[in-house]
């Protein structure tokens, strides 16, 4: 069985993430979407709880009818989680040359900890290559801080899936 992991913080899940999940799921039999737990993300200071991020991804995946996806949280090294799952393939998205260099370094590090773990890079779809979670969080902070009356759905609909929009609008 061809199995892979797609790890990340997904804080929050973006349309770019969801596009990669969908595209990767077409190439393999089972994809584990691994959400990094809050306790290991102190440097990133996640905006959303681990449980919330897992739930939002599960809802987005279900809305697409993807049956070969399992969403779960993890703590520790990605290479350790891959080893525990018996997975030798990791999916990573690349938007630009800076992403590629960073992801290349991580791939070599993961291979050092788990020999045989291969990283497959998927290029971001052009329509999503400008999106990242950090930008979405910044937009959210700005909208909230200015008490802007802009509708969240209008402001963020091109950046995040419906499950995230509904959560943010609540």
Q: Which active-site residues does the annotation give?
A: 17, 44, 95, 133
**Tokens 């590090």 — which residue?**
109
Q: Residue 30 pairs with which residues in a beta bridge?
A: 3
Q: Which strands make up the sheet holding 118-123, listed edge to edge?
A: 69-74, 30-36, 3-8, 89-94, 118-123
Helices (H) and strands (E) in the chain, counts: 7, 5
The rounded distance, in Å, linking the Cα atoms of 108 and 50 is: 27
Instruction: Report the run of H or E that residue 115 belongs to, with start and end.
Output: none
72, two tokens: 């779960």
| Angle at the Cα of 45 from the Cα atoms of 19 and 39, rounded to 5 degrees | 95
The rounded distance, in Å, linking the Cα atoms of 78 and 68 is: 20
């Amino acid at each position: 069985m061809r199995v892979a992991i797609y790890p990340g913080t997904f804080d929050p899940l973006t349309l770019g993430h969801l596009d990669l999940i969908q595209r990767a799921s077409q190439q393999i039999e089972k994809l584990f979407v691994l959400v990094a737990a809050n306790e290991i993300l102190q440097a990133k200071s996640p905006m959303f709880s681990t449980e919330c991020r897992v739930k939002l991804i599960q809802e987005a995946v279900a809305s697409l009818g993807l049956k070969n996806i399992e969403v779960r949280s993890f703590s520790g090294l990605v290479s350790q989680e891959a080893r525990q799952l018996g997975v030798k393939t990791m999916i990573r998205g690349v938007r630009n040359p800076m992403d590629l260099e960073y992801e290349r370094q991580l791939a070599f590090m993961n291979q050092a900890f788990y020999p045989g773990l291969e990283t497959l890079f998927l290029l971001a779809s052009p329509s999503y290559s400008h999106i990242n979670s950090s930008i979405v969080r910044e937009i959210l902070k700005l909208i909230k801080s200015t008490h802007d009356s802009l509708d969240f759905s209008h402001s963020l609909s091109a950046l995040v899936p419906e499950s995230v929009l509904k959560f943010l609008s609540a």
